[in-house]
Amino acid sequence: MIRIYNTLSKKKEDFIPLEEGKVRMYVCGPTVYNFIHIGNARPMIVFDTVRRYMEHKGYEVNFVSNFTDVDDKIIKKANEEGVSSEEISQRYIAECKKDMEGMNIKPATTHPLATQEIDGMIDMISTLVEKGFAYAVNGTVYFRTRRFEEYGKLSHKNLDDLQAGNRSLLVSGEDEKEDPLDFVLWKPKKEGEPFWVSPWGDGRPGWHIECSVMSKKYLGDQIDIHGGGEDLVFPHHENEIAQSEACCGKVFSRYWMHNAFLNIDNKKMSKSLGNFFTVREISEKYDLQILRFFMLNAHYRSPLNFSADLMEASKNALERIQTAVDNLKYVAEHAAAVEMTNEEAAKAEEAKKYELNFDAAMDDDFNTADAIAAVFDLVKFANTNVAEGSSKAFAEVLCGMIQNLCDILGIITEKKEELLDTDIENLIAERQAARKAKNFARADEIRGLLLEKGIILEDTREGVKWKRA
């Protein structure tokens, strides 16, 4: 039985799905106005691993993760570049998908875009207005927070305390509101912004309503698991509950999962401190499999500290697993005896305890740190018990066990092939020729190919310089 720590109840609960054998899961995706940063990567890796483990346990998972493609930051970036908001969002959705692929994150069952679901948002807001949970003032529609009696049940906050103690909640336009804690469902258009036609005037949706609508459309009124970073508990997820439950009159999500923050060298990541890293920047120094492995080395609810030393340690640890798999494959390829001896069969049976330990760790609120420890126990067991004289079948069984457990964690055990210096020089020469011929697509393709192999190019006045990441 899988047990999940539910933010709603503040305790671990047995996972019982709404529908037997199926899991409906929604995870808030990124706002696409730039390359994703490593803080964005943590929930992506965490909930991809949750999904993989659910599938390993035989569940059919309907996994929905959105892209927020209309937002103040996107509009600002578009205005700076003199292009449309759509051009910005489409560019960075494509870049985000490249990074996700590098981290071995499976595409969601559905990746909805907020801008393609506006009609559904207008419908839900209209329902909330009809039911008395929302009201319009001068083209803005607000949600009546106090009308939803259970407001605060996820974040365990009290409305009166919020009003007394948190002035920052009193966002602009408070003089129009019936209550300072009411939040925006629809806002009127401003000059130079994208807008949609609505019963309350031209404008665009508030952020919170987007996820409620996309979850409802692709998963139904009720879902099993809603996930995201702990920074989304309040107000985003709290507001999602209020909107969804006020609209449908049903419990929105049974289990709420939140990953803890990522710090950089024990400090909060911020651009002002200069310790802000995108996943793309990390990929220039490390294979993104190492980033994934690093993230899974901590329990998802524990704060995680990112540093160069810890990444190096993760690189070495992942190499230990990959080397063990390589060695087992080598033994299997070169073994004379095909079948296991009785002693080997007994050892293979003994090795199953590591699989049980792995499952026990993952069943306990997805404890990936302990699950990785079980993988290392299995690696050590394989290194100790498989030698040149071992049978092909024995080496293959242990190799398969390690690969299977790593696959559940989304960790790739194959080592990337190293390019020889001469191969690199030849590709650089081909890239230069392509650029000269104005075939920039091929030039970019070669640069990307080299980057995948860990080769970083630098175009200088003296010519192209390269280095291994």
Nearest of 434, 429, 299, 323 to residue 372 by alpha carbon: 299
Q: What was the pLDDT predicted at 170? A: 47
Helix and strand numbers, DSSP H then E, in the chain: 15, 15
From the CB of residue 326, how many other CB atoms can be counted at a distance below 10 Å? Answer: 15
Q: Which residue in 295, 277, 280 sits closest to 92, CA to CA?
A: 280
Q: Count CB atoms within 10 A of the CB of residue 3.
A: 14
466's enclosing H/E stretch is strand 463-468
Question: How far does CA 2 lie from the centroid of its chain?
Answer: 21
Q: How far apart are CA 407 and CA 104, in angstroms?
A: 10
d(CA 117, CA 229): 23
Side-chain half-sphere CA neighbours of 415 within 13 A: 17
Gyration radius of the chain's alpha carbons: 26
Q: Distance between CA atoms of 464 and 298, rounded to whole angstroms? A: 40
Q: Burial, 342: exposed, middle or buried (Cβ in 10 Å; 0-12, 13-18, 19+)?
A: exposed
pLDDT of residue 169: 46
Sign of the alpha-carbon dihedral angle for 116, 119, 122, 123: negative
Q: In what order do the strands lie in the sheet with 183-188?
A: 134-137, 140-143, 183-188, 203-205
The ranges of the chain with pLDDT < 50 are 168-170
Structure confidence at residue 462 (pLDDT): 79
The continuous run of DSSP H or E covering 463 comes out as strand 463-468
Burial 57-80 (b: 16+ CB within 10 A, else e): bebebbbbbbbbbbbeebbebbee
Task: Give the per-residue pLDDT at 420.
Answer: 66
43: preceding bond cis by omega (within 30 degrees): no
- How many other C-beta atoms are found inside a 10 Å radius of the C-beta of residue 104? 17
455 C-beta neighbours (distance < 10 Å), count: 21
- For 414, the token pair is 């194959």
Strands (DSSP E) contained in 189-287 are: 203-205, 223-229, 253-259, 262-264, 267-268
Spatial distance between the Cα atoms of 243 and 345, rounded to a whole number of angstroms: 58
**Mean pLDDT computed over every residue of the chain:** 93
Phi, psi angles (nearest 5°) of residue 192: 80, 15
How far apart CA 394 and CA 373 sit, in angstroms, is 22
Spatial CA neighbour of 74 closest among 114, 105, 119:
114
Buried b (16+ CB within 10 A) or exposed e, 410-441: bbbbeeeeebeeeebeebbeebeebbeeeeee
Q: What sign for the dihedral angle of Cα 300, 302, 307, 312?
A: negative
The residue among 201, 190, 205 whose CA lies nearest residue 118 is 205
Could you give the maximum distance between any two Cα atoms of the chain, in Å? 83
Which of 268, 233, 242 shows the shortest CA–CA distance to 38? 268
Encoded amino acid at 168, one letter = S
140, 199 contact by CB (below 8 A): no
Distance of CA 435 to the CA centre of its chain: 36
Tell me, what amino acid is at 262?
L
Strands of 42-157 (E only): list them.
60-65, 134-137, 140-143
